[in-house]
Structure formats: structure tokens, C-alpha cells
Amino acid sequence: MSGPSLRKLDAHRAIHDGSFIEAKNLTDLLYKLVGEERDKEAMEVADALVEHWELRVITHADSEEQGFYKEVVEKEPKMLETIAMLTRDHDLIRILAERVRGILKKDGVTKEVLESFTGMLIVNEIHSRDEERLLLDHEHDH
């Protein structure tokens, strides 16, 4: 069974918004450091940022998939396609985080790293609003 904060719109939105704002601020800082050619600091921020995605966002996604999403489908089997779509969003974030880790180890902070972080923000923002709208913002008995 998932925790109560995953089943309540306001609490769930607060989790999404908090982690998004942190990721956005770190991403903005990373772009600034790269623009200023502060490579050492940029690498430190990039490492912290990918760790943020792994520990805050992907861990949250894992929790949703292991509990909340299963509960939704058990109660409403017709939601299976919606859950599959939302799970794919999580998978895209996981793939991008893994890609960033590999590039950072090999080449440091590159244009592709910056673009991947921006892509993660976009996917995460769309996903969070979709999840809230489709699973929490209407009459489901969770």
C-alpha cells in the first residue's frame, strides 16, 4: 500500500513541485556556470543534479509504481493504459539520468548533458501535471 501523501492531490503536488523547483534551480545554475566556463564548479553541480534526479524524482517514481499505481489499477482496471503512459514517463527520466551519468564520466559537462537535463525537466513537468489530473484531480476512490 502506498503512503497517504501519494493519494492526496495537495500533498502529491507539493512533492512534485518541490523536487521540480530544486532541479530547475540547479539546472539554471549549471547553465550559468557553463556559460562562465567554470568547468570544475559545473561538474560539481552536474553531479549534484543527476543525484537529485536519482534520489528525489526516480525514488518517488519507484514508490508510485510499487504502490500507488498498482492500487489504481486494482481498483480501476480501465486505468491500465494511463498507468502505462505515466510509467513510460518515469522510464524516460531514468534513461536520461543514466545517459547523463555516462556522459559526465566520459566527457564532463557537454551540450548533450545540458539538453538532457532540460529534457528531464520538461518530461517531469508534463508528467506531474498529467498524473495529478488523471489520477488525483477527480473522483477516484484511492
The secondary structure of 86-102 as a DSSP string is HHHHHHHHHHHHHHHHH
Q: What is the DSSP letter of 36?
A: T
Q: What is the DSSP letter of 138?
A: S
Report the run of H or E that residue 72 belongs to, with start and end: helix 69-75
Long-range contacts: 113-120, Cβ < 8 Å, 24+? 113/46, 114/30, 114/31, 114/34, 117/23, 117/27, 117/30, 117/46, 117/49, 118/27, 120/23, 120/53, 120/57, 120/93, 120/96
- pLDDT tens-digit profile of 45-101? 999 999 999 999 999 999 999 999 999 999 999 999 999 999 999 999 999 999 999
3-class DSSP state for residue 54?
helix
Nearest CA to 69 out of 56, 55, 79 is that of 79
At residue 8 the predicted structure's pLDDT band, cuts being 50, 70 and 90, is: confident
pTM: 0.89
pLDDT for res 10: 81
Domain ranges of the chain: 4-136
Please name the CATH architecture into which domain 4-136 falls: Up-down Bundle (1.20)
Lowest mean pLDDT among 13-17, 21-25, 76-80, 109-113: 13-17
